[in-house]
Amino acid sequence: MAEKVIRVDDIDGSEGADVAKRDFEVLGRTFTIDLSDDNFKRLNEMLDALAPFIENAAEVKPAGKGRKSRTAKIKGYTNGDVRAWALRSNIEVSERGKISDEVYAAFIEAHPDAKPDA
């Protein structure tokens, strides 16, 4: 028993001996589609027309979560050190999040060895 495979053009639904599985690349990704010779020619013409736009464009990456800095604004001490000192000194400081510039300034004043980052 024989089987016959009939390829159908994915764009216009036509059948024919020239319809074949065609691979093409866009932005480093490979795609495949069943196309006739004419539609494959049209695809390549469109890709050629898009090439200068893609080559001169900048990729826009989706926004992601920003990386939180876990280091203090001063060398030799961590944010945890600054918070612990502030609590011992009865200076109001949040348990998490940004430490105010005033708290950093007071810490640096109390710790002459603290070196502000440039």
pLDDT at position 67 over 70: no
Within 10 angstroms of residue 79's Cβ, the number of other Cβ atoms is 19
**What mean pLDDT is predicted for residues 65-91?**
78
Asked if residues 73 and 104 have their Cβ atoms less than 8 Å apart, the reply is yes
**What mean pLDDT is predicted for residues 26-55?**
94
Which pLDDT belongs to residue 28? 85
User: What percent of the chain stands above pLDDT 90?
Assistant: 42
Set out the domains of the chain in order of their start, with CATH numbers. 1-57 (3.30.60.230), 77-112 (4.10.320)
Q: Which of 22, 46, 47 is nearest to 34 (CA)?
A: 22
Asked if residues 22 and 34 have their Cβ atoms less than 8 Å apart, the reply is yes
Q: Which two tokens stand for residue 65?
A: 């979560």
pLDDT at position 80 over 80: yes
Q: In 3-114, where do the E strands start and end?
A: 20-26, 29-35, 74-75
